[in-house]
Chains A and B, each alone.
Chain A
Amino acid sequence: ETGVTQTPRHLVMGMTNKKSLKCEQHLGHNAMYWYKQSAKKPLELMFVYSLEERVENNSVPSRFSPECPNSSHLFLHLHTLQPEDSALYLCASSQVHGGAAGEQFFGPGTRLTVL
Chain B
Amino acid sequence: ELKVEQNPLFLSMQEGKNYTIYCNYSTTSDRLYWYRQDPGKSLESLFVLLSNGAVKQEGRLMASLDTKARLSTLHITAAVHDLSATYFCAVPYYNNNDMRFGAGTRLTVKP
Which A residues fall within an 8 A CB radius of B? 31, 33, 42-43, 45, 48, 50, 55-56, 88, 90, 92, 94, 96, 99-109, 111
Interface bracket on B: 20 to 34
B42, A56: Cβ atoms under 8 Å? Answer: no
> Across the interface, which residues of A come within 8 angstroms of B100, CB to CB?
45
In-complex Cβ contact of A90 among B40, B43, B98, B102 (8 A): B43
Closest to A45 in B: B98
Question: Which secondary structure characterizes the binding site on chain A?
Answer: strand
Chain B contacts for A56, CB-based, 8 A: 96-98
Contact of A48 among B40, B92, B96 (CB under 8 A): B96
Bound together, the chains give a CA A90 to CA B40 distance in angstroms of 12
Task: Please name the residue on chain A nearest to B88 by beta carbon.
Answer: A43
Neighbouring B residues of A106 by C-beta, 8 Å = 35, 42-44
